[in-house]
């Protein structure tokens, strides 16, 4: 019977876990300029990288 349990947590989940547990942002274990680091930061910040910043609402 094959083991279907996943022991690898994706970098986004790792970043989110780090923030929830009070770890510093510089605790990211992935190399600078790597896809994994960018994903970890996405999880830590709680915002997808491809999302643009929200603009302020106009009062018109």
Cα distance between residue 45 and residue 52, in whole Å: 14
**Given a cut of 90, is residue 55 above it in pLDDT?**
no
SS3 22: coil
SS3 1: coil
What percentage of the chain carries pLDDT values higher than 70?
75
**What is the residue extent of each domain of the chain?**
11-45
With 0.85 as the threshold, say if the pTM is over it: no
Cα→Cα distances 32→1, 5, 35, 52, 59, Å? 39, 29, 9, 22, 41
């Amino acid at each position: 019977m094959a083991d279907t349990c996943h022991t690898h947590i994706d970098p986004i989940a790792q970043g989110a876990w780090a923030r929830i547990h009070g770890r510093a942002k510089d605790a990211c274990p992935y190399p600078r300029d790597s896809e994994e680091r960018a994903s970890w930061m996405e999880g830590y910040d709680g915002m997808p990288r491809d999302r643009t910043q929200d603009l302020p609402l106009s009062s018109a």
